[in-house]
Amino acid sequence: MAALHPGVAVVADLQVCLDDPAVTAVVVATHAPSHFEITEAALRAGKDVFVEKPLCLSGRQAAALCALAESGDRILMVGHLLLYHPAIERLKRLIDDGELGEVLYIYAQRVNLGVVRREENAWWSLAPHDISVANYLLGASPEAVSATGSSYLQPSRGIEDVVFATLHYPGGRMAHIHVSWLDPHKTRKLTVVGDRKMAVFDDTSADQKLAVFDKGVEPPATLTYEEGVRIRTGDILIPALKMAEPLRRECLAFLDAVRTRNAPIADGESGLHVVRALEGGSASLAQQGMRIELPKGR
């Protein structure tokens, strides 16, 4: 790293950075099991922290980090990259403006052939992206989660290669998530179904990242829903997006939060709710899909 970036100081001991008053902010991009220890140390040293997803590996630890950041008036941001994707930003605006009507449910697929992890399952590796987006679009955290999955490639290690999970939100809304690294397709797609319109975010599409479908179901003028429904099909709109690299936008958002002291979209609280959903999903996997109620508040 020193050879690649000769103008940047390189040290072998984190404490050197934490003791340096010139270092005001820290990015934690290490393996997930070390996130809590490093982030806690940085916050206690008075640094603002941007930590890659997941924030940590337990809801208890995540709540402790949020409380620590709040008590020290520090910025705590989590690497929920897709929240800074221009297509997700536009989709959020469409939902908030009522363009889709009331959002009924969301479903997401994040599948590919590889990369197979040995330290974490597909749920912890891939699902944080889609959980964070579902929470953001719905403006809420899930109340419960149920998940099923299987270990095919490393059965002796109990590492699930494929997971199907359902998150239950207030008002009867739900999000279904399918993650796998054992699949013939490379799919990164999220569908939002509203009672007026529907939208699809396809991150693998080169030129149609977001599509809005003027489709829905409504009762005929002379019938109730119990007596019959009418399918409505209208135009498909491909919104013009000003594309920008989400990772760059995410990093700039952290710098802006450090300067302005305003909490970023992907703040510590958002990281807490994602970790709780992941933790609940793991408990459900271990109990063959049992519905797990998630904690409320901090």
Peptide bond preceding 264 in cis form (omega within 30 of 0): no
Residue whose pair of structure tokens reads 């271990």 in the numeric block: 286
Per-residue model confidence (pLDDT) at position 133: 98
What is the rounded average pLDDT for all residues in the chain? 94
Domain positions in the chain are 14-80+247-277, 82-239+287-293
CA distance 41 to 46: 9
Using DSSP bridges, classify how beta strands 76-79 and 162-168 pair: parallel, antiparallel or unpaired.
unpaired
Q: 164-188, pLDDT tens digit by residue?
A: 999 999 999 999 999 999 999 999 9
Global pTM? 0.92
CATH among 3.30.360.10, 3.20.20.80, 3.10.20.30, 3.30.565.10 for 82-239+287-293: 3.30.360.10
Residue whose pair of structure tokens reads 């640094």 in the numeric block: 47
Burial class (CB in 10 A: 0-12, 13-18, 19+), 117: middle
The CATH code of domain 14-80+247-277 reads 3.40.50.720
